[in-house]
Amino acid sequence: GAVVSQHPSRVICKSGTSVKIECRSLDFQATTMFWYRQFPKKSLMLMATSNEGSKATYEQGVEKDKFLINHASLTLSTLTVTSAHPEDSSFYICSAGLAGGGGELFFGEGSRLTVL
Amino acid sequence: KQEVTQIPAALSVPEGENLVLNCSFTDSAIYNLQWFRQDPGKGLTSLLLIQSSQREQTSGRLNASLDKSSGRSTLYIAASQPGDSATYLCAVGGFQKLVFGTGTRLLVSP
């Protein structure tokens, strides 16, 4: 299957700082990537759809100015959590699909964010 | 709004047992259904993908079925092993846009 890589896998930051998480498709190009958030022992919630070369599409209730998404190339999308707050602590996972892959999605390893 | 439910929420079985995980969804107008495995603190590993026109998919000891009209899917695991211990998630939805269930935490004891 296709490989999606995230970095960093774990990050700890202070309140008020910004943190950037990278999502890369290693062996394929992805015009669309997806960012999910997962709370402890809960399921994944779609935050936004990242579109290469254009603005991201955010789900209802997700703050655009807090979670900045950039998809500058066909293999890289970044999620920046701005002015981080302890309530932003969570597990963030990205995914991407192959063109012509029947809609199958492949997920990164996830990034654990802890805001102190 | 699509809602996905998985039953049971947790399951503990001895090694070697065959088991069935259930997934139900409220809106039958789906593009596909995907089963994933998630180990603690890790990302998701895709197990099986069933297109809306298909009834089942098989991979090794895993078999997933789909009954779109009744809004149900099952994941059958044959001859379970301790290495199968993980959380299993089903996800349904439109093209590449998935709605996830709450997961079934499986523990297979030696």
Inspect the interface and report whether the beta carbons of A102 and B51 lie closer than 8 Å: yes
Q: How far is A36 from chain B (nearest CA, A)?
A: 10
Residues A35/A91, Cβ–Cβ less than 8 Å:
no
pLDDT at B65: 97
Q: Is B95 on the interface with A (CB under 8 A)?
A: yes
Contact B32 A95 (CB under 8 A): no
Instruction: Name the pLDDT band for A105 (thresholds 50, 70, 90).
Output: confident
Interval A11-70: pLDDT, tens:
999 999 999 999 999 988 888 899 999 988 788 999 999 888 888 999 999 999 999 999
- Is B46 in contact with A1 (Cβ distance < 8 A)? yes
Q: Which two tokens stand for residue A68?
A: 């900045």
For A51, A60, A100, B9, B88, the CA distances from B103, given in Å and listed in that order, are 28, 23, 28, 6, 5
Peptide bond into B40 cis (omega under 30): no
Q: Among the residues of chain B, which ranges form H helices?
A: none
pLDDT over 70 at A1, yes or no: no
- Measured between alpha carbons, how far apart are the two ends of chain B, in Å? 41
